[in-house]
Structure 1
Amino acid sequence: MEYRRLGKTGVKVSEISLGSWLTYGGYVEEEKATSSIDKAYDLGINFFDTANVYMRGEAEVVVGKALKKYPRDSYVLATKVFWPMGDGPNDRGLSRKHVIEQCHASLKRLGTDYVDLYYCHRFDPETPVEETLRALDDLVRQGKVLYVGVSEWTAEQITEAVHIADKKLLDRIVVNQPQYSMLERYIEKEVLPVSEKYGIGQVVWSPLAQGVLTGKYKKGAAVPQGSRAAQENYGSLFGLLTDENLDKVERLKEVAADNELTMAQLALAWILRQKGVSSAIVGASRPEQLEENVKASGIKLSAETLQTIEEILN
């Protein structure tokens, strides 16, 4: 496993990190989730991602229990705040009240005194950015949060937050967590350049496009039993499971084979070609999936291969 700096900070995270969205505390039972976390740790993954909203706190409980056996200073733990955690008017968003209360609730569920990275899970148009940043700055000063990040913020929103933090001498955002894959590239136009300018790293989610880039889905064929697309509510995998995308994947499989890589390894290595990416988050419902994914760390694709991929994707 190779490691990269989290943005321009001094902390280093594994190029491949393990997430718990749609998996832990949900359709993956706790025993499998725990064995996946153990396998990840054994393979050199030191970066674990969760959120308060994942199964309304259950994912945090599972992750916290699984990591308890390891020295706290040996891994980097991230969680998030924004989405509703109750039915009340203040049970959502990025107000000082919700941010502080949810941080405390997350720490309790995770069974730890601090999280290494705390994300604003989305932008909150109803709360002044300064209010959110001051709340986060207080948590940093109290030692409950070490670094601050955002998820799915636009280049404009990131810029505003950086300017306010600099003007008011508040702790700066160091990470953005966007969706990014061969099939979802919107961050390349504005988010990546702006983030690079301000020293903000990307920790990308869905680098395998919800499994579409593993090659397990075939055009005109039934969805594989036990796959994410077979789970209730994930029918079209958020618009990624299209004939056009499946055609691209078939062509990309040939590129992977030419490079003696699996389709997933090619997709992850392609993500990691970006120097602005600090880590790519993978999910795992079985420990074996991680064995394959971690091998993408350190792979350098040739200029010729990257050009071929570009031609297929465009």
Structure 2
Amino acid sequence: MGDQDGIVPYSPLARGVLSGKYSIDAPPPAESRAGRGDKRIQQTEWRKESIGIAHKIAAHAASRGTTSIAFALSWVLNNRFITATIAGPRTEQQWDGYIDALSYKITPEDEQFINQLVIPGHSSTPGYTDPNYPVEGRLTR
């Protein structure tokens, strides 16, 4: 990628998985994408591995004084390939949680923590990569 190129990803919260609202041991909330049977989340993010990692990220974010939502968005924006991200909150309260990402700065310790959970440049399930979106890696700011 050249200096002028940029990427604007969608679904920085993995269709809500990184919000922490899902549980491995319980059915999804009825009003959620997974609860409504959304085909795309069923094909990609709806995996026990992803939900387990999301809970670890939520605990890490809380220990850093932020939310899993702010942490995940800040993580996405900390990638030098990323120019911006498409935000998709449904409510003003959710939007307020997105705004918090602008004040959280990802640290080297955060990078190390995530790299222990997920192989850099890959999805949360080893060997699984959405064939529509090939892996190109990650360069931090």
Query: TM-score of the superposition, structure 2-length normalised?
Result: 0.76
Q: Which residue of 2 aligns with 1:305?
A: 110
Change (3 A) 1:233 1:245: closer
Q: Which residue of 1 aligns with 2:86?
A: 281
Change (3 A) 1:301 1:198: closer
Q: Is the 8 A contact 2:18 2:54 kept in 1?
A: yes
Q: Which residue of 1 aligns with 2:36?
A: 231
Cα distance between partner residues in 2 of 1:285 and 1:253 = 20
Q: Which residue of 2 aligns with 1:203?
A: 8
Q: Which residue of 2 aligns with 1:243?
A: 48
Change (3 A) 1:232 1:309: closer
Q: Is the 8 A contact 2:12 2:85 kept in 1?
A: yes
Counterparts of residues 1-314 of structure 1 (less than 5 Å): 194=1, 197=2, 199-234=4-39, 236-314=41-119
Q: Deviation at 1:214?
A: 0.5
Cα distance between partner residues in 2 of 1:245 and 1:233 = 16
Paired letter, 1:240: E
Paired letter, 1:208: L
Which structure would you say has the larger Rg? 1
Identity score, percent: 28
Paired letter, 1:215: G
Q: Is the 8 A contact 1:202 1:278 kept in 2?
A: yes
Q: Is the 8 A contact 2:9 2:84 kept in 1?
A: yes
Residue by residue over 1:54-83, the C-alpha shift from the partner in whole angstroms, topping out at 9 and shown as x without a partner, is xxxxxxxxxxxxxxxxxxxxxxxxxxxxxx
Kindly indicate whether structure 1 or structure 2 has the higher relative contact order, using CA contacts under 8 Å at least 6 residues apart.
2
Q: Deviation at 1:299?
A: 2.2
Stretch deviating more after TM superposition (226-235 or 253-262): 226-235
Cα distance between partner residues in 1 of 2:19 and 2:42 = 14
Change (3 A) 1:269 1:225: same
Q: Deviation at 1:239?
A: 2.1
| RMSD of aligned residue pairs (Cα, Å) | 1.7
SS of the residue aligned with 2:30?
Answer: coil
Q: Is the 8 A contact 1:210 1:237 kept in 2?
A: no
In the alignment, structure 2 segments of 5+ residues that lack a partner are 120-141
Q: Is the 8 A contact 1:229 1:235 kept in 2?
A: no
Structure with higher strand content = 1
Q: How many residues align?
A: 119
